[in-house]
């Protein structure tokens, strides 16, 4: 006898790697009511002043708050983030509102913040929600106190737990220290909070500085800094630890560097320092320090795309297995200094690496011409 056909809807498959899939700049800098979807590879394009860099700065700010940084370190000039058209209320208060959505095993989790910038910097409201259910809310009850009243979902003998929390830190980042996980409700809250924190902490901000990449660097500089000035030392480490990825980097160098390139290697320099060189075959070698700014930025970004968190100088979430993390690279000026050929080659490399699921890239480009049409790339046009 044939078994009856089940009419129940299929259970949605959740991504096992927490990822930021949406940014909300409700009132932040030049943006009002802006909502941006993020895919594995997303570029923001637009003229100067369109706010594309502001989007990445907001993402970086959330990442730092998620890592436990205090508010005044993240926003040293908070008034600059308040929309110019925002008028103060009767108490002279002005601020900004930002948020994100993180998808993962717990479902789509929304984090929304309201920050008061004037007259005092503080978080006045925070909401953590999942599919319409409020897991955490905070509200500023007494402006004279440097705390907010927090309430989180418990679903035990008491449905909600309330407690004061500091107004200069992300309450979501404090939940794993305050919630025991004794009830099913508490476990849901912890799962949602940890999903958001893993996604936010898995961020690497990259802005290669060619003028600082030309001199030899100490051999011990094993983690790539955001300015990539210690490129040579990290190249040496990568060549020793992962020949396959290093081979891909050499292939990328052949595409993006002018002239004949047969290899990319490193040489010892004076005083336990190292420099990177291009192997030109019969023509000898060219120190990487002699390359143009565009070639240096190209090599640095290619190295970032072909490595991982343990090679990058970032707040790596060591307690979470790599298979459950997706590195998010923020690259302002992704095509800065690159010619059309280099921008295309680097964009295609980003597309191939992001398609594997372990890395995501959010970048800004001038007009997007070099990356439009790259498989898997979404270009968000601002200022049009």
Q: Are 279 and 224 in contact (CB under 8 A)?
A: no
pLDDT digits (tens, 9 = 90+) for 270-280: 989 999 999 99
175: confidence class by pLDDT, cuts 50, 70, 90: very high
Position 383 scores a pLDDT of 78
User: 42: Cβ–Cβ under 8 A, 6 or more apart, which residues?
Assistant: 36, 361, 362, 363, 377, 378, 379, 380
Give all strands (DSSP E) within 250-374, no chain letters: 263-269, 273-279, 285-287, 327-331, 359-365
Mean pLDDT of all residues belonging to the chain? 91
Selected residue with higher pLDDT from 276 and 321: 276
Cα gap 281→257, rounded to integer Å: 14
Q: Are 365 and 44 in contact (CB under 8 A)?
A: yes
Query: For residue 142, is pLDDT > 50?
Result: yes
3-class SS of residue 59: helix
273-279 vs 147-153, strand pairing mode? unpaired
Q: What is the mean pLDDT of residues 214-242?
A: 92
Q: Which residues of 166-203 are buried (b: 16+ CB within 10 A; e: fewer)?
A: bbbbbbbbbbeebbeeebebbebbbbbbbbbbbbbbbb
Position 13 scores a pLDDT of 52
334: confidence class by pLDDT, cuts 50, 70, 90: very high
For residue 29, report the phi and psi dihedrals to the nearest 5 degrees.
60, -130
Percentage, residues of the chain above pLDDT 70 = 95
Number of other CB atoms surrounding residue 17 within 10 Å? 22
> What pTM, to 2 d.p., does this model score?
0.92
Position 282 scores a pLDDT of 87
């Amino acid at each position: 006898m044939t078994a009856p056909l089940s009419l129940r809807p299929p259970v949605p498959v959740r991504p096992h790697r927490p990822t930021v899939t949406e940014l909300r700049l409700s009132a932040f800098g030049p943006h009002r009511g802006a909502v941006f979807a993020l895919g594995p590879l997303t570029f923001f394009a637009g003229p100067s002043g369109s706010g594309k860099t502001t989007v990445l700065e907001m993402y970086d700010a959330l990442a730092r708050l998620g890592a436990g940084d205090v508010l005044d370190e993240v926003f040293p000039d908070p008034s600059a983030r308040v929309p110019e058209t925002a008028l103060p209320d009767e108490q002279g208060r002005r601020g900004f509102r930002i948020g994100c959505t993180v998808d993962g095993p717990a479902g789509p989790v929304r984090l929304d913040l309201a920050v008061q910038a004037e007259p005092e910097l503080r978080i006045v409201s925070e909401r953590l929600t999942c599919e319409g259910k409020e897991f955490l809310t905070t509200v500023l009850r007494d402006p004279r106190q440097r705390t907010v009243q927090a309430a989180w979902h418990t679903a035990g003998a008491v449905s909600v737990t309330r407690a004061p929390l500091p107004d200069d830190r992300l309450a979501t980042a404090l939940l794993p220290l305050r919630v025991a996980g004794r009830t099913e409700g508490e476990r849901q809250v912890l799962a949602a909070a940890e999903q958001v924190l893993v996604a936010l902490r898995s961020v690497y901000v990259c802005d290669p500085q060619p003028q600082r990449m030309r001199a030899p660097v100490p051999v011990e500089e094993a983690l790539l800094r955001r300015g990539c000035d210690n490129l040579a030392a990290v190249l040496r480490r990568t060549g020793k630890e992962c020949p396959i990825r290093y081979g891909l980097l050499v292939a990328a160098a052949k595409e993006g560097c002018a002239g004949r390139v047969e290899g990319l290697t490193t040489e010892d320099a004076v005083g336990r320092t190292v420099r990177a060189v291009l192997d030109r075959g019969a023509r000898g070698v060219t120190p990487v320090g002699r390359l143009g700014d565009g070639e240096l930025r190209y090599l640095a970004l290619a190295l970032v795309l072909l490595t991982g968190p343990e090679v990058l100088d970032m707040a790596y979430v060591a307690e979470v297995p790599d298979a459950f993390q997706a590195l998010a690279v923020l690259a302002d000026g992704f095509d800065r200094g690159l010619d059309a050929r280099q921008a295309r080659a680097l964009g295609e490399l980003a597309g191939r690496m992001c398609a594997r699921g372990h890395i995501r890239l959010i970048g800004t480009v001038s007009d997007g011409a070099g990356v439009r049409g790259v498989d898997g790339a979404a270009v968000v046009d601002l200022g049009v």
